[in-house]
A and B are shown apart, each in its own frame.
Chain A
Amino acid sequence: MAATPGITDAEEAHVPNPVDRSTFTLYVNGTERTLTLDHRTTVLDALREHLGLTGAKKGCDHGQCGACTVLVDGRRANSCLLLAVAQEDAHITTVEGLAEGDRLHPLQRAFLERDALQCGYCTPGQICSAVGMLREAEDGFPSHATPRTALAGEGPAPLGADEIRERMSGNLCRCGAYPRIVDAIEDVAP
């Protein structure tokens, strides 16, 4: 008998099975990437640690801050909450995939011109989120701020400042650049 049998049990209970891995494909910023990854690897860690794309940021790893926001098949998502293996064949767009060569995406340009950033750590997530948000509005998705009289699905949702603030509230910015972020998005919103 071990001197402290309970501990031995506890240790054994903690030892996981050998790592499960799979080989699968993600389409990242338009490029086919075949990866063999630990099933526990999130899309965020796949991008940052395996594909060298560190634009998506890790602020909390729990879906609370939005710094990791990317577009998955055109819709915004917290990449820290997605297991990469479950996204097989998905098309993922990160902040690195928004510009066309040297030509910045209109939102990137607006963020620069409006000084809608300070430390820059939330910025890639803010910009990806804004891209996804504008598409959602275009597709008629309502938000908490949408008047109840405006039914979903009847064309694009109009985006005033209150709508933008509400729809962008999944992306935290501790530098407090929100007023400028709203200005920048208003510059680009139709």
Chain B
Amino acid sequence: MSDSPRALGAPAVRREGRDKVTGTARYAAEHTAPGCLYGWIVPATVPTGRVTAIRTAGALAVPGVHTVLTHDNAPRLKEPDDPILAVLQDDRVPHRGWPVALVLAESLESARAGADAVYVEYATTEHDVVLTGDHPGLYTPKEANGGHPALRERGDAMSAFDAAPVRIDATYTLRGLHNHPMEPHASTARWADGHLTVHDSSQGSTAVRNSLATALGLDRDRITVISEHVGGGFGSKGTPRPQAVLAAMAARHTGHPVQLALPRRYMAAIVGHRAPTLQRVRLGADRDGVLSSVSHEIVTHTSRIKEFVEQAAVPARVMYASPHSRTEHRVAALDVPSPSWMRAPGEASGMYALESAMDELACALGIDPVELRLRNEPRTEPDSGLPFSSRNLTACLSEGARRFGWSDRDPRPAARQEGPRLLGTGVASATYPVLVSKAAASAQAAPDGSYRVGVNATDIGTGARTVLAQIAASVLDTPPDNVTIDIGSSDLPTAPVAGGSSGTASWGSAVHKAATTLVRRLAEHSGPLPPEGIGVTVDTGEETAQEPPYARHAFGAHFAEVAVDSLTGEVRVRRLLGVYAAGRILNSRTARSQFIGGMVMGLGMALTEGSTMDPAFGDFTESDLASYHVPSCADVPDIQAHWLDEDDPHLNPMGSKGIGEIGTVGTAAAIGNAVRHATGARLRELSLTPDKLLPYLP
């Protein structure tokens, strides 16, 4: 079946755009029902220990307060599938910010005042919240996030490193990072006739529905979770979060609808974070820059209640040819909030270190950093030995260099000056794996010639509705406007989360199959359609169960130009340019927005964002948007995203790779390398704030 060229790849305007610019798109906390109670969490104010007493009389005396739930009186849950969801079940405090009570009141004002009036006593125990490279609690887990083995060894990386004529041995430090989607996590829950309906700000409402069913001990068909519009997630809404459990529990307990939105300051402790990493990279090469040894060792933290290991050494298993390699993750469980996914977990953090080290090697050898990468291009995936389904990193580097004007670059550091500003340029590679999960979808043909497609996809800002309509329309050979798309409810055919840059591949494969099956059914049908139309429901269980005999990854190249103020130490990015090879781009308008958005988050990682664990209080010091600096409009200059046509038959029916995360991956390293070029100073700790730069400036 030929895909209609007018549908796939076209710059279709996002379907829900009008609702968003007019303010009519409703998010999870915007379904206030009559009789609604507002929830307000009371977070633990100690880093570790036990709650010895909670006095709620003061809170209950606040006018408008209806109920206070604590571990003493909250409904009992079954064991949740994620330990972070076991809220108000016992007296333990695993970290500061853990919810110890929930106040329910008739207004937001009363709920907040009530939460302030809850008096909690604790028995504290000594806490341990600071990650160090030699922490005695460090261990090698079995797996890192994504199911990757924690340790992989090929050849003898240490001996090869020792024998190499040119060696780079550098340790890079990344502080914690926070996702901070603009919409705080929120749930509105109501019970009616034995059925629970939850509007939840999540990246996948099927997963939330299933978690709630487990935690509440309910059949899944008694729960509907709706995530119609979601104000960003970046991983933090990829797994069910405590507010959904608390709202559902409270609604059932009180008999009222309950709306619970997290205050911004509470998010850092409750919704996951990118864990800090200490990353030692050792590269051994010959005098031509050809690598003989690559080793990347990660030290990171997790919480006491859940093991999450940022898989930052995994990209080194993909990127460059080397006969000897060692990639290892070690983790220490501390009294800290549970880390989780943040845009490109593993790749964004790991590629900062690896791509900085490659730049160090290029500088040590006097080889152009683009050329150095070209010299280490592997024939097969270094770790697995599998052939790549497609790999166009070198084309991205070459095309990016051409567009950026890289060939004119004077490689000497601190050679370009403009008044008090030092100018420099840098490059880094990017990679992100092709992931796909099983999904189901339905497709329906109506007698009037229109179509309706249903799949529980979630649009967190990607334009999922739009691209799924394009996919369906391409198969049905009809204009996309003739296809209605239903997404965002767990009552629709089951689908995985918007995460791992896999949404479009997973949902789109199911939609493509449903549409293809429907076309076949329609061809078999003669005469007019019945009034109810003809419909099919399919899933991709069979297709996704097969492990393809290929290494499948998207690749990209990032180029940055910076100006460093030699008087203040301020770094300003002047230009960012990304070139990507990510299979077929299905909607050029929304894809460009995602690539650029990823690069903006990488710019924040490089220059403005960073979270400090307070050793005394066990708290993230930068817990609001006044102290945790996400990039603002004035921080973001000329940014360009380009892509190469990539025809890869080993992906999915659309020929697409994921695009939601790769924009973030190489950006921080490219900026750091540009700062080194501008100033001569090699900083190995992000973010590149003036206090770190000033000591190195003239």
Contact = CB atoms under 8 A, between A and B. Distances in A.
Q: Do A and B bind each other?
A: yes
Interface of A: 7, 10-12, 14-16, 18-19, 38, 40-41, 45, 48-49, 53-62, 64-65, 67, 94-96, 98-99, 104, 108, 111-113, 115, 117-124, 127, 145, 164-166, 168-182
Given A165-B633, A169-B635, A173-B182, 15 more contacts: A14-B62, A16-B63, A19-B64, A58-B184, A62-B264, A64-B625, A95-B22, A108-B21, A117-B14, A117-B461, A121-B181, A168-B634, A171-B633, A172-B182, A176-B631
A60 B625 contact: yes
Contacts of B63: 16, 18-19
Q: In terms of DSSP, what is the predominant structure of the interface of chain A?
A: loop
Interface residues of B, number: 74
Given A169-B632, A171-B633, A178-B633, A11 B119 contact: yes
A56 B29 CA distance: 12
A182 B633 contact: yes
Max chain B C-beta neighbours (<10 A), residue from A12, A172, A173, A176: A176
B116 to A, nearest CB: 6
Contacts, number: 212
Given A12-B58, A95-B23, A59 B596 contact: no
A165 B630 contact: no
For B117, B119, B632, the residue with the greatest tally of chain A CB atoms inside 10 Å of its CB is B632
B192 interface: no
A169 B632 CA distance: 5
Contact of B231 (A14, A62, A96, A119): A119
Nearest to A53: B23
B230 A119 contact: yes
Nearest to B113: A16
Contact of A174 (B32, B116, B234): B234
Contact of A118 (B23, B263, B462): B462
Given A117-B21, A119-B232, A182-B633, A45 B108 contact: yes
A117 B17 CA distance: 8
Given A59-B183, A171-B633, A104 B231 contact: no
Contact of B109 (A38, A115, A117): A38
A175 B630 CA distance: 10
Nearest to A128: B23
Contacts of A119: 181-183, 229-232, 460-461
B639 A179 contact: yes
B119 A174 contact: no
| Interface core residue of B23, B460, B592 (most chain A CB under 10 Å) | B23
B232 A60 contact: no
Contacts of B117: 11, 14-15
Contacts of A45: 108-109
A165 B636 CA distance: 8
12 contacts: A14-B116, A14-B117, A38-B107, A38-B109, A49-B32, A65-B182, A95-B21, A115-B17, A121-B182, A173-B633, A174-B182, A180-B596
Interface string B254-272: 0000000101100000000
Interface of B: 13-14, 16-27, 29-30, 32, 55, 57-59, 61-64, 107-110, 113, 116-117, 119, 121, 180-184, 229-232, 234, 261, 263-264, 460-463, 589-590, 592-594, 596-601, 624-626, 630-636, 638-639
Contacts of A12: 58
B27 A121 contact: yes
Contact of B13 (A54, A99, A115, A182): A115
Contacts of A67: 182
Given A118-B461, A173-B182, A180-B593, A96 B633 contact: no
B607 to A, nearest CB: 13
Given A15-B58, A19-B64, A123 B184 contact: no
Contacts of A169: 632-635
B62 A15 contact: yes
Contact of A120 (B64, B107, B110, B461): B461
A165 to B, nearest CB: 5
A120 B229 contact: yes
B108 A49 contact: yes
B461 A55 contact: no
A96 B600 CA distance: 29
The 10 closest A-B pairs by CB, nearest first: A55-B23, A176-B600, A121-B231, A119-B461, A120-B20, A118-B461, A176-B597, A11-B58, A95-B23, A14-B117
A123 B55 contact: no
A83 B230 CA distance: 28
Contacts of B55: 7, 11
Q: Which of B57, B61, B182 is packed against the most chain A CB atoms within 10 Å?
A: B182
A15 B64 CA distance: 12
A173 to B, nearest CB: 7
Contacts of B463: 118
